[in-house]
Homo-oligomer: A and B are copies of this chain.
Amino acid sequence: MAKQPILTPRAEDFPRWYQDVVAKAELAENGPVRGTMVIRPWAYAVWEFVQAELDRRIKDAGVRNAYFPLFIPEEFLRKEAEHVEGFSPELAVVTHGGGKELEEPVVVRPTSETIINHYFAKWVQSYRDLPLLLNQWANVVRWELRPRLFLRTTEFLWQEGHTCHATEQDARDYSVHILRHVYEETMRDVLAIPVLAGRKTAGERFAGATNSWTCEGMMGDGKALQMGTSHELGQNFAKVFGTQFLTDTGAQEFVWQTSWGVSTRLLGALIMCHGDDDGLRLPPAVAPVQVAVLLVRAEDGAGERAAALATELRAAGHRVELDDRVDVSFGRRAVDWELKGVPVRVEVGPRDLAEGSVTLVRRDNGSKEAVPVAETARRVAEALAAVQAGLYDQALALRTERTVDAASLDEAREAAQTGFAKVAWSSLGDEGESALAGGGVTVRCLQRADGDLPAGEDEDGLVAYVARAY
């Protein structure tokens, strides 16, 4: 099997490798308007599996889906001071509609806290209406000056959850529930990506939030990627939009809110966390094709046998593609399936079949094994589970290897050149954070020493994870 070196090796130039994978595996292309993105079918199919896994967990958390308008009156954004300050540099503004100049320009939603609170204020009347838990799957637009496909695009797809609660504690608990049981769980169990769940520093908070939780993953080059955030909004939006409720004792109070989102950036995380020099490596849970059955040569009944195996594997519940394009060289096809990241390959050829076996190849570690034909279904199921676990283990091993305990700001900055540095938050503080930022290093999150979530930045004994980040 002759492999062409079609991708720039990661060690040589990681960003270029990323671009190569995105292009060669036909995942995405730049849109004609700067910063926008075309998501091609293979990547979109992965996104559909990611969506389904998230959506199920979101609904299990009691949330109902809804849809709010793309267009938001400009004045809505101005109501919350920090929010407008954070988002106005990124807004796309519609000034003409239906052939006329609009009396009031409208913005294309960068996020929907404002417009949703406009409705929450009408819908929430009494404590009986709480908690009110909504989510939407939507596109949002944030004008991006340094776009990178999936990671930072002017338009992206996401889900945004928005909730109202009667008490601050209930809102806090809910924001943590989403962080842990929707985001961290999906990232770990579905995307096979270990993440650090922690608290953002004040400087890294969402514009308008009182607290932001985050899930931070380590990519293949040791840099961090913020993969999802869950925010406590306090009463900030409730106060400016008048979202109040009648308590069970007859008082009028403002609701406590949360908002939380993950986006198509998760596709970038999958590529950069698991990809290798041969291309994408997809966790079986989100692979559009979990098993590629490759017919080597259509001789001595191998074609029929390959087709029968594909049928058997499909019946066992796997997503299977039969590749019987024997007019294309076997090596070329094998390289293509590797590039696309398909977790398991079953190679069916007349020579192996004469010995009663097929070849089973795992994408996570490249292992090849002759497997008796009759055992294929069982062995494929085992291999899929092994790939799902193997990708997680490799990612965790990399993170462990590249996470360094740092005793000072300088040590932290040094360690952050190749991975994460763990440093006492008390030794950094706001000033240390600013100093690091000058060198492109940021505090990704704060955790307690035991990995738990801090109640605030001022707690004793907090650990800061610092890194370069996408």
Q: Which residues does A use to contact B, with CB under 8 Å?
A: 29, 31-33, 36-41, 44-45, 48, 64-73, 76, 88-99, 105-106, 108, 115, 118-119, 134, 138-139, 141, 143-145, 154-155, 157
Which of A29, A98, A134 lies at the interface centre, i.e. has the most chain B CB atoms within 10 A of its CB? A98
With A and B bound together, what is the CA distance between A66 and B143 in angstroms? 22
Known contacts A32-B76, A33-B73, A106-B33: A66-B92 contact under CB 8 Å: no
Residues of B within 8 A of A39 (CB): 66-67
With A and B bound together, what is the CA distance between A121 and B29 in angstroms? 14
Q: In whole Å, how far is A100's beta carbon from the nearest beta carbon of chain B? A: 9
User: How many copies are assembled?
Assistant: 2
With A and B bound together, what is the CA distance between A123 and B180 in angstroms? 41
Q: In whole Å, how far is A13's beta carbon from the nearest beta carbon of chain B? A: 25
Question: In the complex, which of the residues B37, B99, B106 contacts A89, with contact meaning CB atoms closer than 8 Å?
Answer: B99
With A and B bound together, what is the CA distance between A65 and B76 in angstroms? 34
Q: Say yes or no: A65 contacts B45, CB within 8 Å.
A: yes
Known contacts A76-B32, A134-B41: A93-B95 contact under CB 8 Å: yes
Question: In the complex, which of the residues B69, B96, B145 contacts A95, with contact meaning CB atoms closer than 8 Å?
Answer: B96
Q: Say yes or no: B145 contacts A70, CB within 8 Å.
A: no
Q: Say yes or no: B97 contacts A94, CB within 8 Å.
A: no
Residues of B within 8 A of A115 (CB): 31-32
Q: Say yes or no: B36 contacts A71, CB within 8 Å.
A: yes
Q: Say yes or no: A66 contacts B38, CB within 8 Å.
A: yes
With A and B bound together, what is the CA distance between A138 and B99 in angstroms? 23
Question: In the complex, which of the residues B29, B66, B106, B139 contacts A70, with contact meaning CB atoms closer than 8 Å?
Answer: B139
Residues of B within 8 A of A144 (CB): 98
Known contacts A40-B66, A48-B65, A64-B45: A31-B93 contact under CB 8 Å: no
Q: In whole Å, how far is A27's beta carbon from the nearest beta carbon of chain B? A: 11
Residues of B within 8 A of A89 (CB): 98-99
Q: Say yes or no: A96 contacts B92, CB within 8 Å.
A: yes
Q: Say yes or no: A68 contacts B145, CB within 8 Å.
A: no
Question: In the complex, which of the residues B31, B93, B99 contacts A97, with contact meaning CB atoms closer than 8 Å?
Answer: B93
Residues of B within 8 A of A36 (CB): 69-71
Q: Could you name 30 residue pairs across A and B whose Cβ atoms are closer than 8 Å?
A: A31-B68, A31-B115, A32-B72, A33-B72, A33-B73, A33-B106, A36-B69, A36-B71, A37-B69, A38-B69, A39-B66, A40-B66, A41-B64, A41-B66, A44-B64, A45-B65, A70-B139, A70-B141, A71-B92, A71-B154, A91-B97, A92-B98, A93-B94, A94-B94, A94-B108, A97-B143, A98-B143, A98-B144, A99-B143, A108-B108
